[in-house]
Structure 1
């Protein structure tokens, strides 16, 4: 994650929207919202201070401009605690409670830094919109009571009330819960931003490669119910964990894909790992660290060593796993097949991964670059958009992507 904060000052001629005491909203054509994203890579918090404008001529009625972008890396101790918390053998409820509050403070600091980098003060910002840190995700329905009711569930921590109190700015958080309550997975959510900014005459794929890979397929000029989005499987998560385990913690990712470039992927190993049921499941579908975390990475390394692979070969194979799982998902589920793929997330900086993707896919592959929105800041910008739509009372989900029964307005508001 890179700090791409803009030095350009922004004039704060903002028409502010406000939430009334009865829960209603007053609309605004222009807002400044700070979007916060903490991804499954567990490496820190991205903060994008964005100008969000209502534009009726755009496909979904909004435009988004990133005015500043900053990254606040987690301290090593916080990251280690999160890794422990996200393991079902070591996670503890008391630690989840402590980290919920601690991450709220980290998020508040990130938002404050992004506001300053945009040349604004707190009074000019309408809201902070925070995704929080996912610590557990259960996409399959589970029976919960004697009435045979079944539910999905997902949990993000990083207390919104703490962010609001620390910054003095109303904060919108816990976005995924409303979609889950409507029967959805609560993910992937990026399809709303993808359609807002990238729907057009071409068939496009927007592929995010964070810890988990997720895609949005946009047919030409789509309606909301024609958009398809889902998690393709591991993004950087398996690569990162393999590198961390092989290096005894000295490195947490393969910078620019250099170690993978020194190795040769094993097709036998990759194809064996692609036999996992998740890859063949029909969308909508989502996944996370529960399936592709450190335990999976340890199994991957053991299988590589059984085949006599070098460490570089194992990292190359983990990288190919991501590329081939994406390519197979496109072959199975993209209709129409995209005319181009735009890549965001940390994977857009892995040269070896991009090379593998270009070999595996039959459409051009390019890192995302659109009006100041690029690979690093796209997901933070997404939450700025989701925050603005929450204030406007506009449904901000794509049920065809999440599997929900209906579109809903996501986000819970905490006042300072």
Structure 2
């Protein structure tokens, strides 16, 4: 167990990042070795795995998502149970890599977001969010400094609390010769624009719209929960896109809203899916057609946001995909066709597993904060100033 005072930022250190995304498939865990800070930071990927949520925990998570109601006691118990799940996930990865918890410098994690309420010009509302998962449990079980709730400080500074990945996208993928976009497709799809000569203080990053979330709702609905997602995009591939419904979906005001903007399950969640389902049932569309249309919606929203908001004077040359959506071969194929001749690569082309992107991001963000380096990018989040994002839980003293 190493405390911040015991280590120099120039020393190599192990940081473990964990992420529970919008889809809530499980906990993504990634271990990295880092050295230095900011642009001088060296990052080495060590290992990764996906730890699935126990069925009963996943069911309880969805029971507290809107529009459901729940008892305070159930939420509190779930909050601590998720801390235990994260601890088990971290220990399993360390065992897999034959690394002792005593060798860790820090752990960073994001639990499921209970509710996200973005800033609004109406009544000058600042916005708020709450994630669940007790960091003190993780700090105790792993005997390691643990950082969670990285978004709250940015929101308090007038930002959206997201996207935070822009900071790490810049460190990993900025190239002085290529105009890039780094695209994550998780439950929600978010992008970072990286023109070749962009400066740190002018970065633009935002949520394009839904990623996999609506597709997952549809698959669970039509298979009565036997499937959680569209495997390899095989269902969408058999369907036909309904252009009329797609056009209606693309008229949603969020898609065309200028950044900074962020969204989540509150907007593109179960209630939204039910509205799509009503339209589809009137037209007697098949399961395959509905899932194909929702897949096309994700692709179209991503492409539209590139066309509309990529910095003027730059021609987008390369897109780097990450997240669970990279497993959807149909989605990736349609995106390549829509973006042609722009090159489409994945994080794996750069030595990072596609599913590990956000866990790696959280590890880097926490490491920066622990050394007193602001880890948000106000030009992307809309915050008034840089902040140290994250709340720290310290491990117990050894008995």
What is the TM-score when the length of structure 2 is the normalising length? 0.94
Matched-pair contact (CA < 8 Å) for 2:2–2:104: no
- Give 1:414 shift: 0.8
- Give 1:26 shift: 5.2
What is the match of residue 302 of structure 2?
A: 326
Query: 1 CA distance for matches of 2:10 and 2:317?
Result: 36
What is the match of residue 64 of structure 2?
A: 85
Matched-pair contact (CA < 8 Å) for 1:63–1:197: no
Q: Are 1:171 and 2:156 counterparts?
A: no
Which moved further from structure 2: 244-253 or 357-366? 357-366
Distance 1:351 1:376, change over 3 A: same
Q: Are 1:34 and 2:16 counterparts?
A: yes
Query: 2 CA distance for matches of 1:181 and 1:85?
Result: 24
Q: Are 1:378 and 2:357 counterparts?
A: yes
Alignment partner of 1:127 out of 91, 99, 106: 106
Alignment partner of 1:406 out of 381, 385, 398: 385
Q: Give the match's secondary structure for 1:141.
A: coil
Segments of structure 1 that go 5 or more residues without pairing to the other structure are 1-15
Matched-pair contact (CA < 8 Å) for 1:64–1:381: no
Which moved further from structure 2: 110-119 or 309-318? 110-119
Matched-pair contact (CA < 8 Å) for 1:17–1:31: no
Query: 2 CA distance for matches of 1:274 and 1:243?
Result: 21
Query: 2 CA distance for matches of 1:410 and 1:113?
Result: 27
Distance 1:398 1:116, change over 3 A: same
Distance 1:337 1:154, change over 3 A: farther
Q: Are 1:342 and 2:342 counterparts?
A: no
Q: Are 1:306 and 2:282 counterparts?
A: yes
How big is each residue's C-alpha offset from its partner over 1:290-329, in whole Å with a ceiling of 9 and x where there is no partner? 0111121122122112122111011100100100010001
Query: 2 CA distance for matches of 1:338 and 1:278?
Result: 23
Q: Give the match's secondary structure for 2:184.
A: strand
How big is each residue's C-alpha offset from its partner over 1:354-413, in whole Å with a ceiling of 9 and x where there is no partner? 111112224122222255312110110001101211221111111111110111111111
What is the match of residue 395 of structure 1?
A: 374
Q: Give the match's secondary structure for 2:215.
A: helix
Query: 2 CA distance for matches of 1:45 and 1:293?
Result: 20
TM superposition outliers: structure 1 runs of 4+ over 4 Å:
none
How big is each residue's C-alpha offset from its partner over 1:66-117, in whole Å with a ceiling of 9 and x where there is no partner? 2111111112221121112112333544332221111000111111122222
**What is the root-mean-square deviation in Å for CA atoms of aligned residues?**
1.9
What is the TM-score when the length of structure 1 is the normalising length? 0.90
What is the match of residue 54 of structure 1?
A: 36
How big is each residue's C-alpha offset from its partner over 1:261-287, in whole Å with a ceiling of 9 and x where there is no partner? 111111111111111111111100000
Distance 1:93 1:325, change over 3 A: farther
Query: 2 CA distance for matches of 1:142 and 1:82?
Result: 31
What is the match of residue 65 of structure 1?
A: 44
- Give 1:25 shift: 8.2
What is the match of residue 283 of structure 1?
A: 259
Query: 2 CA distance for matches of 1:75 and 1:117?
Result: 19
- Give 1:337 shift: 3.9
How big is each residue's C-alpha offset from its partner over 1:239-264, in whole Å with a ceiling of 9 and x where there is no partner? 00011111121111000000001111
- Give 1:27 shift: 3.3
Query: 1 CA distance for matches of 2:186 and 2:180?
Result: 19
Matched-pair contact (CA < 8 Å) for 1:241–1:294: yes
Matched-pair contact (CA < 8 Å) for 1:238–1:318: yes
Q: Give the match's secondary structure for 2:126.
A: strand
Matched-pair contact (CA < 8 Å) for 2:4–2:371: no
Alignment partner of 2:205 out of 207, 226, 229: 229
What is the match of residue 6 of structure 1?
A: none
Q: How many residues align?
A: 391
Query: 1 CA distance for matches of 2:124 and 2:316?
Result: 39
- Give the 5 Å matches for 1:197-276: 197-201=172-176, 202-276=178-252
Q: Are 1:18 and 2:18 counterparts?
A: no
Structure with the larger helix share: 2
Alignment partner of 2:336 out of 337, 355, 358: 358
